[in-house]
Amino acid sequence: MRSVSVMMTRAATAAVLMVGALRLEAQVPTVQQVYDKYATAVGGRDAWAKVSGRTEKGTTDVTFAGISGSYERHSALPNKMRMIIDLGVVKIDQGFDGEKGWADQGQGLQRMPADQEQRLAEGGQLGDAFLDPSRLAKAAVEGKETFDGSEAYKLSVTTKGGQESVEYFDVATGLRLGSIVKSPTGEQKVTYRDYKDFEGKKIATKVIQTNAQGDIVINIQIVEFKVPDASLFKAPAGLP
C-alpha cells in the first residue's frame, strides 16, 4: 500500500508541476507576438516600410565627464550611416558607406572595429526590417524580467552575422525598453526612454548608453524622414 501511495503522490506532484509549467508557457508570448505588439506600438509596419532615410538631431550628455554637445545622425537604405557628436573639446565622427566604416574621435581617422562594421553591414535600422524577427538567425523569449523599472519580456537574439544580444520589450506597451549587446570587448547596455510621435511613428527620444565609465545620454529633439545627401556617407580619403 505504501508503494502505491508514494506512486500516487509522485504522480500528483508531477501533474501539479506540469500544470504550472503549462500556465507559465501560456503567459509568455512567442517571438512573433512580441514583435507584432512592438510594431503596433511604434506606428505599424506599413508606416515604417515607407522610410528609406532618416535624420536625427539633438544633444549628447557625457555624464561621467560633465560635458555636453550637439548630436546628429543620418541613415539611408540599405545600411549607410553617419553620426557626428561635437562636444567642443572633442568632435566624434563615425560613418559607414555600405562597405567600410570609419571613426575619428579627435585622435585621427581610424577604421571602425570589425564587430561594429558587421552590425552596420547587416542593416535593419530603416524601413520595417527592424520589426521583422525573420531577419534574425535565432530568437527566443526567455521569460519576464524587470528592466528600467518596468516588467519586460526578455529575448535572447542572434543576428545572421553572429551578433548576440538580449532585448527587452515592455509587457504593457510593447515598446522596446533596451538591449544588452555582446561584443569581443565586453557588453554594452542601451536603454530607450521617452517615446514620442514623429510623423505617425514613435521613436525613443532619450537613449542611454552605459559602459564601464558611466552613461552617455543622447536626447533626440528633431527627426526627419527623408534620404540625406549622399555626400554624408562618402568615406574619407585615406581610409584603410
Question: E strands of the chain, at which residues?
Answer: 53-62, 67-76, 80-86, 91-96, 101-104, 109-111, 136-147, 150-159, 164-170, 176-183, 186-198, 201-210, 215-224
Q: What is the DSSP letter of 129?
A: G
The residue with greater pLDDT, 8 or 31, is 31
Instruction: Produce one character per residue of 130-146: b if its CB has 16 or more CB atoms within 10 Å, e if not.
Output: bbebeebeebebeeeee
The CA angle 52-182-189, to the nearest 5 degrees, is 75
Query: Does domain 28-230 bear CATH number 2.50.20.10?
Result: yes
Question: pLDDT (tens digit, 9 = 90+) per residue, 126-183?
Answer: 889 999 999 999 999 999 999 999 999 999 999 988 889 999 999 999 999 999 998 7
Name residue, grid cell 526590417. 129
Question: Which ranges in 44-148 belong to alpha helices (H)?
Answer: 45-49, 114-121
Hey, where are the domains in the chain?
Answer: 28-230
d(Cα 225, Cα 15) in Å, to the nearest integer?
A: 55
Q: Residues 106-124: pLDDT tens digits?
A: 888 999 988 888 889 888 7
**Is the sign of the CA dihedral 202, 129, 166, 146 positive or negative?**
positive
pLDDT in tens, 186-212: 789 999 999 999 999 999 999 999 988
What predicted TM-score, i.e. pTM, was given to this entire model? 0.85
> How long a stretch of residues is the chain?
240
